[in-house]
């Protein structure tokens, strides 16, 4: 059983998405003590370089276009402090606390690899802030994912040194007040430490990891709502046969079809119309679920692999090679892998919603729903039923379609053309939160509509797993009779989707299937 009060001991290079999911849910982290010697060795190499005559970028020089400007050893602390406050240029709403918490944990993991040259005290400050729930107020906008997430990470670092603002118990206070309330002192940054803290992809990666975890849950839920729609539409399960999927070979498609077959196994509705049904084929939104959902699952799974690597990566600059004693400049701060992963997740979220919306439209349309009343109301005309719920699903899908355009191709030069190609990873990752919200509502509407359709098929019944799902829904939302205020119904259904309640209700049919794990 998980002890949520205990921090996760992170081993850089081996941190899993399950670990990071727990951070999002509220746990703090501490670095595996085995990594302290390497951290301290790298810090000693940086300290020596700061006192030397040879220019080393970011240690005894300015930054970016100002890299040719030498900085005297006695100005090192001021250089790092100025770097942080000058980069606190974020705007927009505050980043949600779970994302800030994950960003801080990812920075601990990255610095803990012992290639950034920071002192032990820097990592300990982050660990203590996490443990005592001191969360920097980080504006969401301002990063282009180039030299890392400079502005967001600067706002995080500002609180570490007693500057900026923080959230403590839901209240906004100054960084110095937040540290004092937690019994912590402001950190005085040493050579390279400010640069190490703001170079990196941790802001973008935190948003992207939250997005991929939500996308995975929503893809699972979509298989449940899709199976419900199949029975509500009295559609065929023949397209889900494993032989068809094996002939193509995509892992996600095979897993999606197996899940649909398991969910629909034993349905009386399906058996009731095997004879006398003149339809030869169902619409694509029903028949091609394995192909579409499976492709989305494969995209999500690949993105998860990329983001797991990134979560364990060293992404600042320059880097310290402890074995040789060298300090070398590179480009690990460029967030192109994160941007590509987030773009893929966005495509998956959009397409899962697109095909779900088409299933909703099919079920409310009397020309397509095989004998169900218009808009699934027992008394159409006097009642509108699910007419406008379907319109809402269409509106949300349209928003997601607009947001799914690739961000990674939208580079714009910055910093006097020194940073002349940027990833836009922060844009790519941040939009996933809104897209996931929209998809949860779309799937919630499909849950309501499909459950209503199955109810109207009485006395025929669906399978045991899907009956359990409908029973879970009916604990909060009764079947629709006469028209009623529906906004609350939509909110309750979306909450069930977000809580991963549908797979849990379906039981072994979904939870024991070959659905790919992300880690």
Q: Which residues are catalytic?
A: 57
Question: Which region, left, alpha or beta, applies to residue 415 given φ > 0 means left and ψ of -120 to 50 means alpha?
Answer: left
User: Could you tell me where the beta strands, DSSP code E, fall in 306-354?
Assistant: 319-321, 326-328
With a CB cutoff of 8 Å and minimum separation 6, the contacts of 170 are: none
With a CB cutoff of 8 Å and minimum separation 6, the contacts of 2 are: 22
* Among candidate residues 182, 171, 285, 250, the one with its CA nearest the CA of residue 258: 250
As a whole number of angstroms, the distance between CA 94 and CA 143 comes to 14
With a CB cutoff of 8 Å and minimum separation 6, the contacts of 235 are: 229, 282, 286, 287
Here the tokens at position 44 are 């000693």
Q: By the 8 A CB rule, do 435 and 346 touch?
A: yes
With a CB cutoff of 8 Å and minimum separation 6, the contacts of 345 are: 208, 211, 212, 215, 299, 300, 303, 432
Q: Say if strands 135-136 and 165-168 run parallel, antiparallel, or are unpaired.
A: antiparallel
With a CB cutoff of 8 Å and minimum separation 6, the contacts of 437 are: none
With a CB cutoff of 8 Å and minimum separation 6, the contacts of 386 are: 360, 364, 375, 376, 377, 445, 448, 449, 452, 480
């Amino acid at each position: 059983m998980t002890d949520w009060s205990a921090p996760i001991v992170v081993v850089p290079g081996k941190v899993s998405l399950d670990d990071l999911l727990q951070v999002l849910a509220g746990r703090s982290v501490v670095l595996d003590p085995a990594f302290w010697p390497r951290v301290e060795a790298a810090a000693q190499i940086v300290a020596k370089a700061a006192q030397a005559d040879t220019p080393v970028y970011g240690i005894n020089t300015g930054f970016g276009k100002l890299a040719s400007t030498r900085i005297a050893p006695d100005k090192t602390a001021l250089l790092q402090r100025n770097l942080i406050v000058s980069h606190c240029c974020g705007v927009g709403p505050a980043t949600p606390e779970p994302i800030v918490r994950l960003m801080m944990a990812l920075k601990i993991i990255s610095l803990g690899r012992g290639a950034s040259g920071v002192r032990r005290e820097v990592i300990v400050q982050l660990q203590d802030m996490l443990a005592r729930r001191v969360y920097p107020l980080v504006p969401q906008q301002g990063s282009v994912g180039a030299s890392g997430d400079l502005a967001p990470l600067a706002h995080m670092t500002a609180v570490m040194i007693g500057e900026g603002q923080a959230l403590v118990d839901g209240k906004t206070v100054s960084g110095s007040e937040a540290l004092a309330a937690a019994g912590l002192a402001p950190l005085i940054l040493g050579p390279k430490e400010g640069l190490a803290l703001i170079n990196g992809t941790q802001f973008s990666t935190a948003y992207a990891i939250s997005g991929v975890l939500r996308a995975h849950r929503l893809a699972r839920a979509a298989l449940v709502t899709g199976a419900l729609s199949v029975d509500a539409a009295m559609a065929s399960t023949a397209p889900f046969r494993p032989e068809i999927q094996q002939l193509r070979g995509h892992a996600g498609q095979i897993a999606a079809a197996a899940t649909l077959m398991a969910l629909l196994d034993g349905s009386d509705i399906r058996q009731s119309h095997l004879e006398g049904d003149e339809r030869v084929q169902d619409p694509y939104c029903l028949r091609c679920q394995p192909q579409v959902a499976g492709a989305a699952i494969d995209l999500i799974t690949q993105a998860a692999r990329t983001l797991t690597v990134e979560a364990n990566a060293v992404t600042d600059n320059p880097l310290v090679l402890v074995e040789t004693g060298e300090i070398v400049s590179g480009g690990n701060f460029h967030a192109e892998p994160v941007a590509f992963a987030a773009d893929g997740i966005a495509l998956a979220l959009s397409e899962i919603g697109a095909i779900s919306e088409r299933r909703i439209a099919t079920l409310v349309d009397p020309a397509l729903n095989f004998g169900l009343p218009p808009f699934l109301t027992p008394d159409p005309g006097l009642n509108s039923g699910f007419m406008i719920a379907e319109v809402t699903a269409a509106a949300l899908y349209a928003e997601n379609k607009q947001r799914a355009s690739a961000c990674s191709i939208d580079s714009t030069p910055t910093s006097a053309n020194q940073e002349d190609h940027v990833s836009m990873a922060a844009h790519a990752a941040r939009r996933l939160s809104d897209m996931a919200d929209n998809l949860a509502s779309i799937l919630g509407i499909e849950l309501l509509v499909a459950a209503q359709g199955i109810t109207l098929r009485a006395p025929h019944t669906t399978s045991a797993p899907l009956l359990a799902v409908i029973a879970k829904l009916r604990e909060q939302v009764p079947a629709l009779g006469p028209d009623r205020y529906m906004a609350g119904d939509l909110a309750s259904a979306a909450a069930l989707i977000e809580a991963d309640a549908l797979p849990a209700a379906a039981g072994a049919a979904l939870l024991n299937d070959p659905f790919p794990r992300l880690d």
